[in-house]
Amino acid sequence: MSDAQVLFETISSGAGKKIAIATLNSEKTLNSLSQTMVDLLSPQLKAWEDDAAIAAVVLRGAGAKAFCAGGDVKELYRSAVEKDNAAAKFYETEYRLDYQIHTYTKPIVVWGTGIVMGGGLGLASGASHRIVTETSRIAMPEITIGLFPDVGGTWFLNRAPGKTGLFLGLTGASINAADALFIGLADRFIASDKYDAVLAALVAVHWSSDMEKYAGQVSHVLRDFEKESKAQLPESPVRAHFDVINELCDGDDIEDVVNKILAWQGEDKWLNKAQKTLAAGCPATVHLIEKQFSRGKFLSLPEIFRMELAMAIGCATYGNFQEGVRALLIDKDNQPKFNPPTIAEVTSEFVEKHFTGPWGNGPHPLSDLK
């Protein structure tokens, strides 16, 4: 196995076409997304998109444990502490890559087995064919590190049914394959041991002369494997708790919502863990989530990525991100000293600062996204 952070290959397919495969290749970090990975993926995806011989792209992670566990948080922490430009550059290029996937003109099949969190969900959410398996463990746990559900979270969580998106953003709750299908973050459930067979079936496709039909041909292949895997689909905690989630998140304001979630009494492993994560989370993030959801509800995808870039830089600028990562991953004391320390002490002025980027009256770094 090469030590390159992303592996690229193409396989000859039917009608003179090819299947392209990109593999995130950092098993030790659970394929966490680095700047190098972003810099490799973006131009290669563009080249494949422009290559008439490429019919479809498969994006996967090395090993069975994870598709992608998120961004390279330790490097982002280093950048924030040292106050260099690396974190801002990463967010900008990461969001560009995510947007590139959202707007890709050829089918992208994401094999979302194992851990899919944060930046990994950013890669997967915009793909045309998002596959989850019985091992998929999906979450946007940014509240634990003083960030917010970024990488397009404003877009895909706002579109989840009922108030499930808000609940998942506030609690960082882990969801499974059935949950992902229910809330619209996945398209197909296929057993994890069928990857080789799926790839072989895609290679065997006799591709149409009309590129517009490629997506349907991919769906035709995946549909058959989904039928074979149906018995392994787990139960969906989100679906099971749908009415409770909607009731708990129906508050007068975000503080009322949080109080309702924390005050819920019952013996339920999934909900109790969600409560615990929220209780220990960053108070400022709670307000950031409320604002990103309300402001982003009717924004276009480019506008959302522009808003999220300002927010991400703001989180690093005002210190809660550094403190959250320090407590969780650096010193590992699990005792973050977030500022302000309580939800009630977070002012609207402090929240608003996170929506104002450092570029002032100059052009936004993502102004070219259309």
Q: What's the pLDDT at 36?
A: 98
* Mean pLDDT in order along the chain per 10 residues (370 residues): 91 98 97 98 98 98 98 95 95 98 98 98 98 98 98 98 98 98 98 98 98 98 97 98 98 98 97 98 98 97 98 96 97 97 97 94 95
Which residues neighbour 322 within 8 Å (Cβ) at sequence distance 6 or greater? 77, 80, 81, 146, 316
Which residues neighbour 225 within 8 Å (Cβ) at sequence distance 6 or greater? 188, 190, 191, 194, 197, 198, 201
Following DSSP, what letter does each residue of 262-324 receive, concatenated? HH-----HHHHHHHHHHHHS-HHHHHHHHHHHHHHTT--HHHHHHHHHHHHHHHHHTSHHHHH
Q: Which fold has domain 6-353?
A: 2-enoyl-CoA Hydratase; Chain A, domain 1 (3.90.226)
Residues marked as catalytic: 71, 119, 142, 150
Which of 183, 181, 178, 152 shows the shortest CA–CA distance to 167? 183
Angle, helices 195-203 vs 214-229, to 10°: value is 150
Place of tokens 């030590």: 3
* 3-state SS, one letter per residue, for 179-247: HHHHHCCCCEECCHHHHHHHHHHHHCCCCCCCHHHHHHHHHHHHHHHHHHHHHHCCCCHHHHCHHHHHH
Angle, helices 254-263 vs 283-296, to 10°: value is 120
Q: How many C-beta atoms surround the C-beta of residue 206 within 10 A?
A: 10
Distance CA 213, CA 200 (A): 19
Q: What's the pLDDT at 361?
A: 85
What letter does residue 27 receive in the DSSP assignment? G
Q: What's the pLDDT at 14?
A: 97
Distance CA 362, CA 340 (A): 30
Domain boundaries, the chain: 6-353
pTM of the model as a whole: 0.97
Place of tokens 């609207």: 348
The one-letter code for the residue type at 190 is I
Q: How many C-beta atoms surround the C-beta of residue 11 within 10 A?
A: 14
